[in-house]
Chains A and B, each alone.
Chain A
Amino acid sequence: MKIRLNKKALVGAVIILFFILIAILAPLLAPYDPHEFVGTPYSKPTSKYILGLDRMGRDILSQLIYGTRLSLIVGLTTGALMTSISLLIGMTAGYFGGIIDRILSTIIDVFMVIPGLPLMIVIASYIRLRGVVPIILVISFTSWAPGARVIRAQTLTMRNREFILASKITGEKSVRIIFSEILPNMLSLISSDFFMACLTAIVGEASLEFLGFGDVSAITWGTMLYWAQNSSALLNNAWGWVLAPGIAIATLGASFALLNFSIDELTNPKLREV
């Protein structure tokens, strides 16, 4: 059983490492400059251009490889930022309790019910600045609530455990108790939350960029899909242009889902094999 569980996590981790390697080695792996005109627009896939060319005659495979960089950076940064917000709000609410908890819990609940994607779209459409920073901020700001709720609940159960009470009695500062007593004991929960956040970020980034809220001159998987859609790639039979970035997003997303699922399976006693 143990081997099987680790297999899911292993597959997820290997895929992520694979993408990280591609991102780092992009200049070596990409056959062409992703911005360069190399042949007839909308060329079919050939041995020279494995995934074909886009509407400006640029190599799609090279774009896909270079696109890994920004897509991955945005996904991981957003995941980290989102998890930090969840941690900050969830732990503060759970640890201090009382009126602070009531206020923060209400804020969490409000953000849980206000629909994410429409809110992202509304905010993004007011921001005139286009680029990765607004995307990271918009997704983190709208999607932190589910994580905060789980972390709050976990902190709440930790607060009254003996080792925490012991630190309180010895006069430790709250900040120290939160960060060096409670935090290390929630690492599995936090990492599972982080992987979920990355999945949300990857899909959210792709959706926003697909709608044209990204920097459309930058090369990411989402903007590739944006251009593919806006140049009727499929009607021109340039299927590689749509298929490749989508599969890349789905694979990376699924690997985060796999990691999240296997951590849940390992740590939730009810899901564990008896």
Chain B
Amino acid sequence: MKYLRDKIMFFLIALLSALIINFILPRMMPGDPAERILMKMGGEIQPEAVDAMKIALGVDKETPLLQQFFSYLKNTLTFNFGISYSYYPVPVKDLILNSLPWTIGLVGISTLISFVLGTSLGIRAGWNRNKPIDSFITICSLIIRGFPYFWLALILLYIFGFLLNLFPLSNAYSTHEFLKGWKFFGSVLYHGFLPGLTLVLASLGTWILTMRNNMVSTLSEDFILVAEAKGLKDKDIMNKYAARNALLPSVTSFGLSLGYIVGGALLTEIVFSYPGIGYLMYKGVTSQDYPLMQAIFFIISLSVLIANFMLDFVYMFLDPRTRG
């Protein structure tokens, strides 16, 4: 059980690190967040108002730092993130709960599609190593990987949304009419298509390259040679022998990428004004809504850490060496 203990320890250390970063950053930076916020609200700044804001933010000088940290810790771990400035007086927690399903739906489905498509293309490329099809797929993947994906989003939005007028320019569902049931579902799919396509294209390259390189190294193993010597059909060797064994590292990355579902679409959501977590964070950042920003960073980190931990846990069942 040493393995499990280590993994739990790591989860806690990483979580604490994320919390500490969140706690220290606003206190480390020059300038006073309370004054900054009041300055943005405009008008004369009363010293009392600054003091009140400092207490609300938990950054007043009178309270010792350690005590500030513990009250911050308690609030964050009970998901009590305070009240948003930019959407005053809506609690940050409600804002996050409203955005979370959109992001999870959009990025979750795109991640799955991209993984399946990229991995199967990677199998083809690795199997046909150094033939034209491999070179083509590999070069394309390398080029895609260099793209800033928000730019891909801009271009898709311009071509399909603006020029051809095929898809909507923003939002996650139609805001002009009230839709129910299947119609609403259709509208969600219609609005999610372009952001989804961006996400699939942007991550496809990495899946292809990972799987291709795994395939190439598996194909040099002895059991492939034996399978060939036995005279098995090429298709069987490719799928049942090589691909099956080459798949494991890709599955690991897939498990990890599930953690990035919450935070992985920041820029895409911003370009498409898609009402998910990324767009919310952007709004928090541009309006210096620190409680909102901090809470989202915490949620994004938490989801990555949980996915990471779950994966370690699954490994405990899959790999006997870890049980020791």
Binding site for B on A (CB under 8 A): 1, 4, 106, 109-110, 113-115, 117-119, 121-123, 125-128, 199, 202-203, 206-207, 210-212, 225, 229, 234-235, 239, 242-243, 246, 249-258, 261, 270-271, 273-274
- Known contacts A118-B281, A250-B151, A271-B216; A106/B143 CB under 8 A: no
Q: Which residues of A contact B301 (CB under 8 A)?
A: 113-115, 118
Q: Which residues of B contact A1 (CB under 8 A)?
A: 130
Cβ B17 vs Cβ A199 within 8 A: no
- Known contacts A125-B285, A235-B162; A118/B263 CB under 8 A: yes
Tell me if B193 counts as interface (CB < 8 A to partner A).
Answer: no
Instruction: List 13 additional A-B contacts (Cβ < 8 Å) besides A118-B263, A122-B21.
Output: A106-B10, A113-B259, A115-B264, A115-B300, A118-B296, A118-B297, A118-B301, A119-B21, A126-B25, A210-B267, A246-B155, A249-B148, A253-B146
How close is B288's CB to chain A, nearest CB, in angstroms? 7
Residue tally, chain B, CB below 8 Å to A: 55
The one of B17, B25, B267 that contacts A207, using a Cβ cutoff of 8 Å = B267
The one of B14, B266, B285 that contacts A110, using a Cβ cutoff of 8 Å = B14
The CB with the most chain B CB atoms within 10 A, among A119, A206, A243, A273, is that of A119
Q: Which residue of A has the minimal Cβ distance to B221? A: A270
- Known contacts A126-B25, A128-B30; A257/B281 CB under 8 A: no
The one of A119, A249, A252, A261 that contacts B151, using a Cβ cutoff of 8 Å = A249
Cβ A273 vs Cβ B130 within 8 A: yes
> In the docked arrangement, what's the CA distance between A125 and B18, Å?
17
Chain B 252-287 near chain A by CB (<8 Å), digits 1 or 0? 000000011001101100110000000001100110
> In the docked arrangement, what's the CA distance between A115 and B270, Å?
18
Cβ B146 vs Cβ A256 within 8 A: yes
Cβ A206 vs Cβ B148 within 8 A: yes
How close is A193's CB to chain B, nearest CB, in angstroms? 16
Cβ A122 vs Cβ B293 within 8 A: yes
Tell me if B220 counts as interface (CB < 8 A to partner A).
Answer: yes
- Known contacts A113-B304, A113-B305, A117-B266; A250/B13 CB under 8 A: no
Cβ B17 vs Cβ A110 within 8 A: yes
5 A-B residue pairings within 8 Å (CB atoms): A128-B29, A246-B155, A254-B146, A271-B216, A271-B217
